[in-house]
């Protein structure tokens, strides 16, 4: 009896510890962590960061699946992922869910990533490549490896001149957190390779908070009344690239996509 | 006539049309020489060196680096090489104005109201016409300052052979519109001059510089190219990692940002350069309104000696907007489709003729 109760107590302690650890990691808000400050007094988020998850394959949880070309075998098969959507499936309107499914079915023709198009927001943030944050007082630049994508976050609010792939990002500090409000999107980018999509009414609010010297917590609330029944949220850690010589390299992919885009118009067809 | 054809190809092809104009500075400059008769004997100082502003000191970023930040342009009609027949280093301001006027008129002529090209695209819109946006007022008659004649140094035997080999390899790929890979890089949204030396692209030369501790970032609007340049003097990436923009590493020499770039790929081939070319740039803030941009191109396998150029960057109003070039590149698809259709029609006509015999 005694042994048992000890075991139970120990077990409970372990469970409690797990819950406690889980709370810190999952919430990403390590209580009390205060990021180093830049000379302007704001948290210093500069560095080279990268998501380490399967969100670019599918924001939602998914099992492993074969890729589109049998010749590639295990390479470019779809790796499993727990998903980054909080609180259940993405709340599509019924007709929008049909479009999402059609997108996936026809992804070889439709996924903008295949064509080396700009990834949009939030997709740029969790493509499986590094990006660098370079912050001045007035502007926070994000330079992404994929397709040479770049985002400028305006810390002094400015209005968008027109719609665009990456939208227009205005930022502000809320204590430890960089809050970025992005609007004025076109309706052409996708959210992942699974066909999750949005309309030009997309409104993304991102919250980026350092949870330690080498980790950021990234959250994005996605709102689009044309496509979703309610706003929904994704969250994930972003990890600092720790290599001593880490740098964002050039990954210009237009050349690699040219025969996808124009191969059918060659004088001599591709074999 | 050549320009008209290019314009009909669509928006991205316009970059080429503009480049063609740029690359043909000889007649323009020759005309610009004419008003030289009215030029005063005293040579005016280049606009990029306002020596008069003595009290001015460079602002600093919060961490103490010279502040190069802002929106900039190097928009000008100044050719890389001094035009034949021009012997002096600087124009007078009236001469420069005459050159600018001629070039602006020439660019505006690209669209004739009521023509097919005009319906397709109005050249004077969207900043494609350089004469409508701020020019740097560079009085230099060439970007090249050394050699002193404003011309590229003689090309080495190796450089000549490489140029011939490249041309032969290109011819093997067939005619320009046989496949997308044969079309010029700018039209394909692959590369538009963002690599050093940062010569103005055919149109819309707009840049933003943003600094954070240890980095200077240069965003080029065309093709949304970003150079994130570390300024801590760290070494280059390994030499087997090649790229279009090369590997840029910087450091400060006094208040001048010095950036050395290597690791180019073989396809940039700026003026016939090899992939082993090294470009050294020097950015010096001269006033609130101007940065002096100097560069040295060192490639002993191509030129008998290193050569140097200089041009100003001047302030413009922001913001920089997303240049989604590949995403909107209807020009390539339409052009290739048009050429295939022409070929089909020609083949059908030939077959008809053969049948009639």
d(CA A236, CA A10): 31
Give the per-residue pLDDT at A26: 42
Give the per-residue pLDDT at B339: 97
Report the half-sphere exposure of A2 (CA within 13 A, side-chain side): 0
pLDDT tens-digit readout, A237-255: 999 999 999 999 999 999 9
Please give, rounded to a whole number of angstroms, the shortest distance from the CA of B223 to a CA of chain A: 8
DSSP label at residue A22? H
Please give, rounded to a whole number of angstroms, the shortest distance from the CA of A245 to a CA of chain B: 8
- Among residues A250, A47, A234, A21, which one has the least CA distance to residue A146? A250
Bridge partners of B233, per DSSP, are: none
Q: Which member of A112, A134, A257 has the closest CB to residue B212?
A: A134
Nearest chain B residue (CA) to A150: B224
Report the half-sphere exposure of B128 (CA within 13 A, side-chain side): 24
d(CA A91, CA A108): 25
CB atoms within 10 A of CB A10: 10
The token pair that represents A48 in the structure block: 């080279």
**Is 80 exceeded by the pLDDT of residue B33?**
no
Bridge partners of A141, per DSSP, are: A134, A152
Instruction: Please return the burial class of A146, using the count of CB atoms within 10 Å of its CB with bins 0-12, 13-18 and 19+.
Output: buried
d(CA A7, CA A153): 53
Give the per-residue pLDDT at B133: 79
In Å, the largest CA–CA distance within chain B is 87
Do residues A76 and A159 make contact, with C-beta atoms less than 8 angstroms apart?
Answer: no
pLDDT tens-digit readout, B139-183: 999 999 999 999 999 999 999 999 999 999 999 999 999 999 999
d(CA B168, CA B183): 15
Q: Which residue has the tokens 């502007």?
A: A139
Cβ contact, residue pair A249, B237, below 8 Å: yes
pLDDT tens-digit readout, A155-205: 999 999 999 999 999 999 999 999 999 999 999 999 999 999 999 999 999
Average pLDDT over chain B, rounded to whole? 84
Cβ contact, residue pair A39, B210, below 8 Å: no
CB atoms within 10 A of CB A53: 19
Q: With a cut of 50, which residues of chain A have pLDDT below it?
A: 1-28
Bridge partners of B252, per DSSP, are: B257
DSSP-based helix, strand, coil % in chain A, nearest 5:
25, 30, 50
Cβ-Cβ contacts under 8 Å for A193 (sequence gap 6 or more): A56, A57, A58, A78, A107, A111, A113
First to last CA, chain A: 75
Q: Which residue has the tokens 């093997």?
A: B172
Cβ contact, residue pair A118, B188, below 8 Å: no
Q: Which of A32-41, B164-173, B213-222, B276-285 has the lowest mean pLDDT?
A: A32-41
Q: Which of A112, A266, A270, A271 to mutate to test the interface with B (most CBs of B within 10 A)?
A: A266
Cβ contact, residue pair B230, A247, below 8 Å: yes
φ/ψ of B90, rounded to 5, equals: -125, 145
Cβ contact, residue pair A158, B244, below 8 Å: no
d(CA A95, CA A59): 19
| CA atoms A186, A189, A191, A194: torsion sign | positive
Report the half-sphere exposure of B60 (CA within 13 A, side-chain side): 9
Do residues A78 and A103 make contact, with C-beta atoms less than 8 angstroms apart?
Answer: no
Geometric angle at alpha carbon A65, from A113 and A93, rounded to 5°? 65
DSSP label at residue A42? S
Q: What DSSP string describes B46-110? A: PTT--TT--S----B-TTS-B---EEEE------SSPPTT---SB--HHHHHHHHHHHHHHHHTT
CB atoms within 10 A of CB A36: 10
d(CA B232, CA B249): 8
Q: Strands B70-73, B144-146: parallel, antiparallel or unpaired by DSSP? A: unpaired
ipTM of the complex: 0.87
Cβ-Cβ contacts under 8 Å for B98 (sequence gap 6 or more): B31, B32, B34, B35
Do residues B276 and B256 make contact, with C-beta atoms less than 8 angstroms apart?
Answer: no
The token pair that represents B192 in the structure block: 């538009």
Entry field: residues in chain A: 271
Please give, rounded to a whole number of angstroms, the shortest distance from the CA of B288 to a CA of chain A: 17
Please give, rounded to a whole number of angstroms, the shortest distance from the CA of B182 to a CA of chain A: 11
- What residues of B are in contact with residue A267 (Cβ under 8 Å)? 174-175, 177-179, 339-340, 343
d(CA A133, CA B101): 42
pLDDT tens-digit readout, B96-154: 999 999 988 877 766 566 655 554 455 656 556 777 778 999 999 999 999 999 999 99
Instruction: Please return the burial class of A11, using the count of CB atoms within 10 Å of its CB with bins 0-12, 13-18 and 19+.
Output: exposed
pLDDT tens-digit readout, B183-209: 999 999 999 989 999 998 878 899 999
Q: Which member of B215, B322, B339 has the closest CB to residue A166?
A: B322
Give mean pLDDT, residues B38-43: 36
d(CA B213, CA A48): 14
Give the per-residue pLDDT at B128: 66
pTM score, whole prediction: 0.85
Question: What confidence tier does B8 reach under pLDDT thresholds 50, 70, 90?
Answer: very low
User: Using N-to-C axis directions, what is the helix angle for B93-108 and B11-22, rounded to 10°?
Assistant: 140
3-state secondary structure of A263: helix
Give the per-residue pLDDT at A183: 98
φ/ψ of B277, rounded to 5, equals: -65, 145
Do residues B301 and B274 make contact, with C-beta atoms less than 8 angstroms apart?
Answer: yes
């Amino acid at each position: 009896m005694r042994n048992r109760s000890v075991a139970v107590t120990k077990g409970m302690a372990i469970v409690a510890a797990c819950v406690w650890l889980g709370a810190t990691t999952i919430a990403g808000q390590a209580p009390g962590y205060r990021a180093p400050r830049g000379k302007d007094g704001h948290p210093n988020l500069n560095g080279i960061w990268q998501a380490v998850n399967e969100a670019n394959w599918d924001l939602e949880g998914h099992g492993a699946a074969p890729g589109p070309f049998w010749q590639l075998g295990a390479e470019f098969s779809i790796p499993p992922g727990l998903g980054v959507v909080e609180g259940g499936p993405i709340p599509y309107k019924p007709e929008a869910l049909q479009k999402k499914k059609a997108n996936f079915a026809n992804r070889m023709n439709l996924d903008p990533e295949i064509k080396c198009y700009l990834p949009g927001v939030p997709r740029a943030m969790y493509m499986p490549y590094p990006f660098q944050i370079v912050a001045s007082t007035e502007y926070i630049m994000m330079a992404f490896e994929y397709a040479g994508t770049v985002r400028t976050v305006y810390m002094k609010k400015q209005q968008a001149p027109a719609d665009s792939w990456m939208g227009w990002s205005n930022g502000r500090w809320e204590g430890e957190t960089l809050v970025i409000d992005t609007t004025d999107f076109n309706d052409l980018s996708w959210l992942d390779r699974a066909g999750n999509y949005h309309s030009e009414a997309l409104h993304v609010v991102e919250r980026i908070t350092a949870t330690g010297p080498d980790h950021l917590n990234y959250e994005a609330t996605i709102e689009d009344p044309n496509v979703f029944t309610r706003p929904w949220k994704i969250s994930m850690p972003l990890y600092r690239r720790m290599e001593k010589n880490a740098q964002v390299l050039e990954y210009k992919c237009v050349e690699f996509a040219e025969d996808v885009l124009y191969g059918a118009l060659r004088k001599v067809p591709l074999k | 006539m050549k320009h008209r054809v290019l314009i009909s190809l669509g928006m991205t092809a316009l970059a080429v049309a503009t480049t063609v104009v740029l690359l043909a500075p000889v007649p323009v400059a020759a005309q610009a020489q004419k008003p030289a008769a009215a030029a005063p004997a005293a040579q005016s100082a280049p606009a990029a060196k306002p020596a008069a502003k003595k009290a001015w000191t460079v602002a600093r970023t919060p961490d103490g680096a010279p502040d190069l930040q802002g929106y900039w342009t190097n928009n000008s009609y100044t050719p890389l090489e001094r035009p034949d027949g021009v012997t002096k280093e600087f124009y007078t301001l009236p001469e420069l104005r005459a050159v600018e006027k001629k070039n602006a008129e020439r660019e505006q002529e690209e669209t004739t109201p009521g023509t097919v090209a005009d319906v397709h695209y109005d050249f004077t819109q969207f900043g494609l016409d350089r004469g409508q946006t701020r020019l740097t007022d560079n009085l230099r008659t060439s970007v090249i300052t050394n050699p002193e004649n404003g011309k590229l140094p003689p090309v080495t035997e190796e450089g000549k052979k490489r140029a011939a080999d490249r041309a032969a390899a290109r011819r093997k790929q067939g005619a320009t519109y046989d496949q997308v890979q044969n079309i010029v890089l700018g039209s394909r949204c692959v590369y538009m001059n963002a690599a050093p030396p940062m010569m103005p692209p055919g149109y819309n030369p707009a840049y933003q510089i943003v600094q954070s501790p240890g980095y200077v970032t240069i965003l080029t609007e065309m093709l949304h190219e970003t150079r994130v340049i570390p300024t801590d003097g760290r070494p280059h990436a390994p030499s087997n990692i090649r790229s279009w923009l090369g590997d840029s590493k910087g450091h400060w020499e006094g208040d001048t940002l010095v950036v050395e770039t290597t690791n180019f790929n073989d396809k940039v081939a700026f003026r016939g350069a090899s992939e082993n070319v090294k470009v050294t740039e020097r950015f010096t803030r001269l006033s609130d309104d101007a940065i002096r941009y100097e560069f040295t191109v060192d490639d002993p396998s191509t030129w008998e000696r290193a050569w140097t150029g200089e041009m100003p960057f001047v302030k413009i109003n922001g913001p920089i907007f997303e240049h989604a070039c590949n995403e909107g590149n209807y020009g390539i698809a339409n052009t290739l489709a048009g050429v295939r259709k022409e070929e089909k029609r020609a083949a059908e006509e030939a077959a008809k003729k053969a049948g009639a015999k």
